[in-house]
Chains A and B, each alone.
Chain A
Amino acid sequence: MVSETGATRQFIRMPDDQPAHLRVEGLTAYYGESMAIEPITLPIPRQQVTAIIGPSGCGKSTFLRSLNRLHETLPAARNEGNVWLDGEDIFDPEVDPIIVRRRIGMVFQQPNPLRGRTIAQNVTIGLELDGASKRECAEAVERSLRLTALWDEVKDRLNDPAIKLSGGQQQRLCLARSLAVEPEVILMDEPASALDPIATLRIEELVKQLASDYTIIIVTHNMQQAGRVSDHTVFMTLGDRGAGVVAEAGPTSEIFTTPANPKTEDYITGRYG
């Protein structure tokens, strides 16, 4: 197994010249006694888009959900290892996961605006928790909705129920909601897989735009999407022990044109997964 870990390390070519925003060190995830991902060590570059691709069930989502400590909220689920966010370990016992989730936002696969809340109220959930004033909230609503290109579409009906929006609009609302609390990192778990092609395109454009200010990690099933939006790609696969491993990671252009790991090539050319 040591040799495999060694082999995997050789396939990781994430940039070293710039300080990583997130530094994942030996991160594992468990469901009860069963290991869902083998130790992952990976730098995540600042203000760039890192895509995580790989076949179903290889632990992509589990890995992503570990990064904002959401994984551990499931029954019997836990993590081991460290994730350094600008030099601070998010798994430090002193650190409250609530604070971690403020700095590391998340957008889910299914758009999940809160029912019974208006469009504006969905954006301000995080601010409400901070006890923000009405003016601050109103400003945040406009700023976040503009960032997600939703403002012009909904500015006249901010007090409508959020679930009246289309799926694509709901997903951009969810993105606006996480942007409203001004996080540093945004995690996206297949954010476009429940959307139609046009809505998907809009999300992809947003991802590229937002990367100038945020560090984005996006899980996707769609390799073309990874190729279109990401600067770096992490290819995960199921290891020999039935847990997810990182088979290869590096600049997207290299992963897609000259993969070092034969498994990556097989997956990208559609022979596997």
Chain B
Amino acid sequence: MDGAPVSFLKRVDELSGSSKVRRSWFAFACAVFIIVIVVPSIFVVTKLFTDWGLVDSVINNDGIRDTVLSAVANSFSIALVVTVIDIVVGLPMAWIMVRKDFKGKKWLDTLLDMPLAFPTAVLGISVVMFWGAPEGVELPGLGIVVSPYVMMIFLHILFTYPYMVRSLSAILEQIEPNFETAAMTLGASKWTAFRTITLPLFRAGLATGFILCFARSLSETGGTYIALTMMGVESTFFTGPSFISWLKSDTSVYSADEMMGAQILISVIMIVLALLLLVVVRKAIAGFHIPLKKVWPDLGRKLSRGPLPKAKDVLTIAFLLVVVLLPAFYIFMYLTQPIPDIDYGVLLGSIATSFLVAGVAVAVDIVIGVPMAMYIARHRDGKLGQTLDGLVNVPLIIPTTALGFSLALFWGGFGLSESFALLLVILGHISFTYPLVVRNLIGAIEEVDPAYEEVAMTLGAKPFQAFRKVLFPIVKSAVIAGGILAFTRSLGETGATTAISNTVNTVPIYITKLVQSGDYTEAAMCSIVLIAICFVIMLVLRLVTSRRSGRDA
């Protein structure tokens, strides 16, 4: 190694010995978190008071008001239906992933996460092609005519289901399997043991999964808008975010003031309801008890043995294949079609923009997220720790369209507008990816006994050295996992980007534009190129990190 970075690290090591330096570093991370992430995310709420006139005129205009309200109602009811389906089908899937051992489990494990790596705009195209028969698409789909509402449910299941299974699996893994065994030696059938022991212990995971899926469905823009466009109903059927996208794409319908008022109203309603939800769901699930004390041993036995449990497993896997995986991968059918002319210059340019945004956002997330995660993980009982823990979730549950709109208003107030569009987009992406990185890290750091670092320091290590050489290598895989999650999430984001700027051309925006002009084949090919690049990068990242950790060991 050359001298310069070593001496730099050494200086940081030395500095970290002073508690003043450590405290100011944490204060800095907190300040960045509050000023750059939290405040801009909810800034729009203040507009309700400062620009009440705009909002008031929208409320008094029956036409817009009803459209806005029905859009918000659609958003929430779709999110609710999707989340309930996710729970019902996700529970047995989590069970299979955690408690069963079979050949090909690793494959299933990887397949499960695949839809997360697809930009939602791509999923939107793929799902409509698979289930329906949209005009202008040459490929045969199932040709089922469903209402836009049902189609949105099919679509939203795709990118929420993996979150649900992951959250439930994480909790299931922490539940002592001996509890079930103990219940069974006491005479409970498998089904009864699950209902009376495991399910009640599940509540925390259920709350997390519920909030994650609900928020994800609520805020999804790109896929929803593309799917609605392909179905030809983008100007008649709205969800909250798709309404904002539509407003931006067609400025001829309403006046500028009406548009601003409508956007403020929708954003505020969705932010407030989403925040309320966070509190209410937590409380409701924590306080929820299955009221049923009674047990039917014979029924339990019938449900635990013979064909029923098998049927349940088969149905679970079938659901994953037919409702999640096939529709997601259906876009690859376009590979059978003659390859269209793609403007590779524009495509590569948009890919470069996407990667720049995602890369910078993730790097910032990690740098300012690590001290935050460490503090929260180690100060769970303190007031500040709990407050920060709650605040970190805020950008996660705010619909990204509303978040983007709010952010643009906030920084616009400082004179940062179109000319700084790229910077603003990056700031927006930092906001909604930050919780993903920090959540993952908190989980990992909580698992690590603080004694490791303490031992390192009794052996003479400075705090930063102890972090670098002891804690970081242990939680490295969680940092990488969180980083990948955040990166793919940023890569696939449409809503926040459109809400912030009309000029920054990321890949999902480019694909959306192609779909709007009816170039489905081109859009599909671009999607395939993007997916291919994503997979290569993820593969390389996995290879590099696994080799690195192999050598370290």
Q: Do A and B bind each other?
A: no
Q: Which A residues are within 8 Å of any B CB, using their own CB? A: none
